[in-house]
Structure 1
Amino acid sequence: MRTLGTLACLSLAACSGSGESDPQLANTAQRSFAARDFTAISLEGPDTVEIRTGGDFAIEASGEPAVLDQLLVKSEGGTLRIGRKARKSWEWPLRSAGSITVQMPEIRAASATGSGAVTLDRADDFSGSVSGSADLTIGMLGGRTARLANTGSGTIAAAGAVDTFSAELKGSGDIAAPQLRAEEASVILQGSGAVQASVAGPARVALDGSGTVDLGDMALCTSTLAGSGSIRCAS
């Protein structure tokens, strides 16, 4: 595939009469970090993080050299913290984002603050949160509990199956988990956002604002509603 891609690029260059390389690709570097012994990840800033579970600890980052120079990656108290180093008063802020891939045996919690994004393949008994415009995507949740909290305008997306699902949303963001199945749930929503999940059992819902809660037609809800929002359950 790499050879085919190279040939395609060469053909395009020949047709356009230019053999110049993409300056963005030419200005991309890679860097490794040696942090280990963590079960949680905290992202602060504009970067993107992809988490792969099931292997030994490994951290790789790619991006512009200036961005990589400013990356702060350290393991502290069981949490891998990813952010930017303190900027000098005369330095311009870097607007470009880096891309970080983290491999780890298992993960229990992840948070994202700012405008970045975290993508996670799978987790059991997981707690996730976002604020600002950050996003969090979990491919497969399992175990007894899943706790998701959103206090911004971003989106938490998840699928899987758990015994108990807890969601707290404050703001205009979303907790979009229509493919997450749970036996029971607790949902608190304040604002104009939306919470979705598939609950087959009792659910407690408190909605204050114009948002929407949709737990499917098998959820047996005990709910309180203040505002113009809507709640969808079996009862």
Structure 2
Amino acid sequence: MCRIGVLCRQYTFEQWWRNWMINTLAKGFARKAAPLAALAMGAALSGCGFVGNWDKVDGEPLAELDMTGDAPTKVSLSGPDTIEITEGATFAITLEGDADAGAALRFDRDGDSLAIGRDKEAYDGNGKAVVRITMPAASRLAIAGSGTIKADTMANDATIKVAGSGDITVASLAAEKVDVSIAGSGDVTAAGTAKALSVDIAGNGDVKFGGLTADEVDIGIAGSGDVDLASNGKVKARIAGSGDITVTGTAECTLDNAGSGTLTCRSSETVATGEVAAE
């Protein structure tokens, strides 16, 4: 049987997350607003189910990890630990924090992906490890669980995914495209600029982009998650639930609303198909 954890060969983190997101959206979002059901159905994929054991993970201890070859561009974390990523040309990993938690971490490299998770059969205590990684700017960061990922920057085409209560923070972005997806209560925080920004939230996780300015923005919220950002371009939003969106700048804002959530565009020209507040 495939064991979901650091990396599962049969059911990857990406596949599991997308199924989780689809199921969450389908249960609440689509029932409230048929026109918005595309948020759930648009990401439909083959019937790959979530199976596996989070207590037993694949991978190997850091001391046994093959560090040769090209550095990874995608990093995922499962569990309660912390990853801190610093941009650099030479790929390197060091461990800090609780020694027992660090010894229980398993690392798996598969092509351009590095997946990290804790083997609970090796350690299931409250201590937490800190994984410090030096690598080129990541193109994708993904987290499942209650852990934390911090990165100083990301690549020109950046994808950020959160499943659960974990948080991801990116200190500075200068990207053409940024895709953010949250399924659960985790938060994503970033500053910088993006020409195109896509945000999908299923749950009560927040996107804290008050320090980020994006030109073209597309947002979908199913639940109570909030989004804060800046834009001087165009913002299209769909809300089913109580989530609120706040946009600072001169953006033209459009909202399809099937709940109590609001889209507030401060000092902006507003084109409304739902309930939009302009200040």
On whether the aligned pair clears a TM of 0.5, the verdict is: yes
Show CA shifts across 1:57-111 (max 9, x none).
Answer: 0000123332222110121121110102362xxx772332111000002210000
Report what 1:112 is aligned to: 143
Give the secondary structure class of the aligned counterpart of 2:153: strand
Q: Are 1:73 and 2:104 counterparts?
A: no
Whose strand proportion is higher, 1 or 2? 1
Structure 1 equivalent of residue 78 of structure 2:
44
CA offsets, 1:123-165, max 9 Å, x none?
A: 1221101111100000111121111111111210001011111
1:12 counterpart residue number: none
Q: What SS class does the counterpart of residue 201 from structure 1 fall into? A: strand
> For 2:124 and 2:120, how far apart are their aligned partners in 1?
10
Aligned-partner SS, 2:67: coil
Stretches of 4+ aligned residues off by more than 6 angstroms = none
User: Unmatched 5+ residue regions in structure 1?
Assistant: 1-30
Asked whether the equivalents of residues 34 and 59 of structure 1 are also in contact (C-alpha less than 8 Å), the reply is no
3-state SS of the aligned residue for 1:211?
A: coil
Q: What are the equivalent positions in structure 2 for 1:159-170 lying under 5 Å apart?
A: 159-170=191-202
TM superposition score normalised by structure 1? 0.81
Distance (Å, rounded) in 2 between the aligned partners of 1:181 and 1:92: 42
**What amino acid is aligned across from residue 204 of structure 1 in structure 2?**
K
Q: Which residue of 1 aligns with 2:216?
A: 184
Q: Which residue of 1 aligns with 2:264?
A: 232
Identity of aligned residues (%): 31
**Secondary structure in 2 matching 1:206:** strand
Distance in 1 (CA, whole Å) between partners of 2:172 and 2:98 is: 32
Instruction: Give the equivalent residue in structure 2 for 1:58.
Output: 92
In the other structure, the counterpart of 1:153 is 185
Q: Which runs of 5+ in 2 are unaligned?
A: 1-61, 271-279
Matched AA of 1:121: D
Give the conservation status (yes or no) of the 8 Å contact 1:117–1:136.
yes
> In the alignment, which residue of structure 1 is the partner of 2:125?
94
Counterpart code for 1:94? G
- Over 3 Å counting, the alpha-carbon distance change for 1:104 and 1:92 in structure 2 is closer
The alignment status of 1:85 with 2:119, answered yes or no, reads yes
Is the contact between residue 99 and residue 129 of structure 2 (CA under 8 Å) also seen in structure 1? no
Structure index of larger Rg? 1
Paired residues in the alignment total 202
TM-score, normalising length from structure 2? 0.69
- Kindly indicate whether the alpha-carbon contact (under 8 Å) linking 1:35 and 1:74 is maintained by their aligned counterparts in 2: no
Question: Secondary structure in 1 aligned to 2:102?
Answer: helix
C-alpha separation between the residues in 2 aligned to 1:45 and 1:120? 18
RMSD: 1.7
Paired residues of 2:100 and 2:127 also in contact (CA < 8 A) = no
Tell me if the contact between 2:73 and 2:138 (Cα under 8 Å) persists in the aligned partners: yes
Structure 1 distance, partners of 2:259, 2:196, is 27
- Structure 1 distance, partners of 2:174, 2:145, is 27
The residue aligned with 1:173 is 205
